[in-house]
């Protein structure tokens, strides 16, 4: 068979935010995506591949920008990719998407790219939103004025995509047009920079000179060039450039018109009167946030139960059919169960990202950021921290992943750092059991449940502590660039379901392949700790347990007692006993110690481990029964172990401690920094330990 050799071309996709860039990217590449990070930073890099007319086209989606001059990290990435390329290789072409309804502002970036003398293709998107009469003439006229191919498209319906693909496979001449040239003195400096760095256009030299003081990539310039460059007032020069360019753009736009249809703008204006109103806007936002929380919290529980059920059943199924040995146990109880522990997060991830995508797509996310910016800024957070914080009350894992929408790296770090302090749904079974133990089931004033009140207090404790931690961090984490808020409030649009679906798919699969590996590894380690032990005592107990199941299948009491003894003699049990001196000041014994260790797999495991240790079995047990057993438990001196002091101390410990390997794995993946992952773990463990100790001392 003849192997066809495809011609390969690499294209950088650029454009203003809200120009339909994502929709275009998805329409061109479908599900053929690779997601990763840009080198050295944790800004998401998406690239996709498609073939057209014997050419393999790779498109790299760059962050949305308004100008090549940069302030934020996102903007700097676009700058680096366009001027320096990836590993020194520049893209073959730049595809720029422009919103046809606001061509004026989009033309700033377009003219900058043409001045760079690279191959540029302009995609005039949302052409359906301009009046019919302009749709045919305008692209031709623009081609003539700009000297580059201009393809009108509507990425939502797919209009114009074939013509665009054609244009991407052909090589086009570099446009001879120039739209800006600096004054001679500046020009001389820019030219020195161009020569030293061997750049292909004078404007590239100008851009690097103008942004030199913010540039983090190493640029090797002779000292005198650098000094001459730094002596210039670049802000003033850039202001002149901007005014100059917009004057040219105004004269271009006098030659033809591209009038947006008024309808969508008027609808948006009316909607904003309600949605950004000081009272109704705030109320609607709270309702939206509550609905998001409610659905991640409860809507996700059904598929999660199904997933857990499936893994439990299949576990049994495998065990009955595979030979009984250690390898089988490792594969089923370690790896397979670990995989279940990863998959179980998908419903929550899918729901949260479905909502995030919906909010972004519709244009409402910009309003949420707008309304909450002030209050969030006080705590070193961002308007876009709101949705992750709400999501954190359901589960920190998807919430940490969703902080990627925050483009300021410092605000993003603070947000994801405090997220584990929001009481997630896995803490609920722990809270319920412990509260039932210590807090009497009575009503205050005949209406308010005392137990409910304690529960509410725990949620508030986590949330407000999170704000305090954020406030403290704001002072210590260095700023990256200047903090500013200039955000386009886009016209409201019906969301694109395809974009939502693609986001959900990408986030779920990147979680499984990224943090999932760490979670499975740790869960195997935890399983080994609980199922193996040192010395003869463990192996004897293990043998006795297995024999008892075969010989006396009905004697569950015996099984449970042996299972408890086995756990006590396992490595986990040994560690639990070893840490007893450290947790004694908090009022805990070694049995709680074991549960603290095993619940690192997931907080709710605490309840199951307690049941095993107290010989109630590991599968089905009555929570009431467990409660009664725990109430009877005495210290050596005869006083009850689960006194109010112990229980409150445990509650506070669980509210603060980062008892969750999945969260840590996600933080590691999302920050790419072992330092911050360890910081998060150490800080919250210390906070939990200190507060639990204080509570124990205060109440005993």
The region of 53-61, 228-236, 410-418, 644-652 touching other proteins under the rule CB under 8 A is 228-236
Give me the least distance between CB of 280 and other proteins, in Å please.
11
The answer for residues whose C-beta is within 8 angstroms of residue 29's C-beta and 6 or more apart is: 48, 49, 50, 59
For residue 75, give the H/E element and its range.
helix 73-83
Q: Site map for other proteins, 280-299, x if CB under 8 A?
A: --x-----------------
If binding is defined by CB under 8 A, does position 212 make contact with other proteins?
no
Scanning the structure block, which residue is given the tokens 């921290």? 385
Give the strand pairing for 443-444 and 448-449.
antiparallel
For other proteins, the closer CB: 26 or 69: 69
| Three-class SS of 321-374 | HCCCCHHHHHHHHHHHHHHHHHHCCHHHHHHHHHHHHHHHHHCHHHHHHHHHHH
Give me the least distance between CB of 101 and other proteins, in Å please.
8
If binding is defined by CB under 8 A, does position 463 make contact with other proteins?
no
- Specify the long-range contacts of residues 626-631, CB closer than 8 Å, at least 24 apart: 626/433, 627/433, 627/436, 627/437, 630/437, 631/437
For other proteins, the closer CB: 371 or 583: 371
Give me the least distance between CB of 131 and other proteins, in Å please.
14
If binding is defined by CB under 8 A, does position 489 make contact with other proteins?
yes
- Specify the long-range contacts of residues 574-580, CB closer than 8 Å, at least 24 apart: 574/533, 574/534, 575/529
Contacts with other proteins in 115-174 (CB under 8 A)? Answer: none
The region of 150-158, 194-202, 483-491, 500-508 touching other proteins under the rule CB under 8 A is 483-491
The answer for residues whose C-beta is within 8 angstroms of residue 188's C-beta and 6 or more apart is: none
Give me the least distance between CB of 276 and other proteins, in Å please.
5
For residue 131, the SS3 value is: coil
The region of 53-61, 303-311, 365-373, 531-539 touching other proteins under the rule CB under 8 A is 365-373
Scanning the structure block, which residue is given the tokens 């256009």? 201
For other proteins, the closer CB: 34 or 104: 104
Enter the tokens of residue 653.
């410990």
**Distance between CA atoms of residues 73 and 75, nearest Å:** 5
Give me the least distance between CB of 105 and other proteins, in Å please.
5
Contact 523, 601 (CB under 8 A): yes
The region of 81-89, 372-380, 445-453, 459-467 touching other proteins under the rule CB under 8 A is 372-380
Q: For the CA atoms of the chain, what is the radius of gyration?
A: 30
For other proteins, the closer CB: 249 or 455: 249
Q: What are 640's strand-pairing partners?
A: 634
Measured CA to CA in angstroms, residue 390 lies from 350, 358, 515 at distances of 15, 16, 21
If binding is defined by CB under 8 A, does position 262 make contact with other proteins?
no
Give me the least distance between CB of 251 and other proteins, in Å please.
14
552 secondary structure, DSSP code? -
- Exactly one of 66, 318, 505, 532 binds other proteins (CB under 8 A); that residue is 66
Measured CA to CA in angstroms, residue 630 lies from 344, 625, 692 at distances of 30, 9, 19
Enter the tokens of residue 372.
């909450």
C-beta neighbour count of 451 within 10 angstroms: 18
Give me the least distance between CB of 505 and other proteins, in Å please.
31
Quickly list DSSP for 644-682.
HHHHHHHHHHHHHS---HHHHHHHHHHH--HHHHHHHHH
If binding is defined by CB under 8 A, does position 407 make contact with other proteins?
no
Q: Site map for other proteins, 241-260, x if CB under 8 A?
A: -xx--x-------------x
If binding is defined by CB under 8 A, does position 482 make contact with other proteins?
yes
If binding is defined by CB under 8 A, does position 270 make contact with other proteins?
no
For other proteins, the closer CB: 487 or 683: 487
If binding is defined by CB under 8 A, does position 55 make contact with other proteins?
no
- Exactly one of 183, 233, 536, 554 binds other proteins (CB under 8 A); that residue is 233
Give me the least distance between CB of 635 and other proteins, in Å please.
52
- Exactly one of 56, 488, 506, 580 binds other proteins (CB under 8 A); that residue is 488
- Exactly one of 277, 498, 631, 635 binds other proteins (CB under 8 A); that residue is 277
Under rule CB under 8 A, how many of the chain's residues touch other proteins? 43
Measured between alpha carbons, how far apart are the two ends of the chain, in Å? 82
Give me the least distance between CB of 401 and other proteins, in Å please.
26
Give me the least distance between CB of 18 and other proteins, in Å please.
9
Residues that bind other proteins (CB under 8 A): 66-67, 69, 71, 101-102, 104-105, 108, 233, 235-236, 238-239, 242-243, 246, 260, 268-269, 272-273, 276-278, 282, 366, 369-375, 377, 482, 484-490
């Amino acid at each position: 068979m003849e192997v066809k050799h495809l011609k390969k071309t690499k294209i950088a996709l650029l454009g203003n935010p809200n120009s339909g860039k994502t929709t275009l990217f998805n329409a061109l590449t479908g599900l053929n995506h690779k997601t990763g990070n840009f080198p050295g930073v944790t800004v998401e890099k998406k690239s996709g591949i498609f073939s057209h007319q014997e050419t393999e086209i790779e498109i790299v989606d760059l962050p949305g920008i308004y100008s090549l001059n940069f302030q934020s990290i996102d903007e700097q990435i676009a700058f680096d990719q366009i001027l320096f390329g990836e590993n020194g290789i520049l893209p073959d072409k730049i595809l720029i998407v422009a919103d046809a309804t606001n061509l004026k502002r989009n033309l700033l970036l377009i003219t900058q790219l043409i001045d760079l003398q690279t191959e540029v293709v302009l995609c005039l998107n949302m052409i359906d939103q301009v009046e019919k009469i302009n749709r045919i003439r305008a692209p031709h006229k623009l081609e003539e004025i700009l000297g580059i191919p201009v393809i009108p498209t509507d990425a939502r319906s797919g209009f114009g995509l074939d013509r665009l693909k054609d244009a991407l496979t052909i090589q086009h001449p570099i446009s001879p047009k120039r739209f800006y040239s600096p004054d001679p003195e500046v020009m001389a400096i820019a030219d020195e920079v161009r020569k030293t760095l061997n750049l292909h256009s004078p404007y590239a030299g100008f851009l690097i000179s103008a942004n030199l003081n913010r540039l983090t990539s190493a640029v090797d310039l002779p000292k005198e060039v650098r000094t001459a460059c730094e002596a210039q007032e670049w802000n003033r020069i850039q202001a002149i450039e901007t005014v100059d360019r917009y004057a040219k753009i105004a004269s271009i736009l006098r030659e033809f018109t591209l009038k947006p249809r008024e309808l969508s703008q008027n609808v948006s204006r009316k909607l904003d009167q309600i949605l950004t109103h000081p009272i109704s806007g705030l109320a609607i936002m709270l309702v939206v946030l509550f609905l998001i929380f409610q659905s991640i919290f409860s809507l996700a529980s059904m598929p999660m139960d199904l997933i857990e059920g499936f893994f439990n059943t299949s576990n049994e199924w495998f065990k009955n059919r595979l030979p009984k040995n250690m390898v089988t146990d490792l594969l089923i109880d370690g790896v397979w169960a670990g995989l279940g522990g990863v998959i179980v997060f998908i419903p929550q991830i899918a729901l949260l990202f479905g909502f995030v995508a919906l909010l972004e797509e519709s244009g409402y996310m910009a309003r949420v950021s707008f309304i909450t910016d002030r209050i969030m800024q006080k705590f070193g957070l961002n308007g876009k921290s709101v949705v992750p914080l709400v999501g954190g009350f359901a589960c920190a894992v998807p919430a940490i992943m969703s902080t990627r929408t925050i483009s300021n790296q410092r605000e993003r770090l603070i947000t994801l750092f405090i997220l584990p302090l929001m009481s997630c749904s896995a803490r609920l079974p722990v809270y319920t059991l412990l509260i039932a133990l210590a807090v009497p089931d009575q009503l205050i004033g005949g209406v308010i449940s005392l137990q409910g009140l304690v529960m509410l207090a725990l949620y508030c404790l986590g949330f407000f502590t999170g704000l305090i931690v954020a406030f403290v961090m704001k002072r210590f984490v260095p700023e990256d660039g200047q903090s500013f808020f200039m955000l386009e409030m886009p016209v409201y649009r019906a969301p694109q379901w395809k974009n939502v679906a693609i986001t959900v798919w990408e986030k779920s699969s990147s979680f499984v392949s990224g943090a999932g590996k760490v979670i499975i590894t740790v869960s195997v380690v935890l399983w080994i700790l609980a199922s193996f032990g040192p010395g003869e005592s463990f192996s004897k107990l293990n043998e006795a347990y297995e024999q008892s199941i075969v010989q006396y299948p009905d004697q569950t009491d015996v099984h449970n007692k042996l299972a408890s003894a086995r756990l006590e003699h396992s490595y986990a049990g040994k560690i639990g006993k070893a840490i007893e001196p450290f947790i004694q000041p908090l009022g805990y014994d070694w049995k709680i110690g074991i549960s603290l260790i095993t619940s690192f797999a997931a907080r709710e495991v605490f309840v199951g481990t307690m049941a095993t240790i107290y010989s109630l079995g590991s599968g089905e047990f009555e929570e009431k029964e467990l409660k009664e057993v725990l109430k009877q438990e005495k210290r050596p001196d005869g006083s009850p172990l689960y006194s109010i002091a112990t229980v409150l101390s445990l509650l506070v410990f669980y509210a603060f401690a980062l008892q969750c390997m999945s969260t840590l794995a996600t933080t590691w993946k999302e920050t790419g920094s072992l330092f911050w992952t360890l910081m998060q773990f150490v800080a919250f463990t210390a906070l939990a330990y200190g507060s639990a100790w204080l509570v124990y001392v205060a109440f005993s």
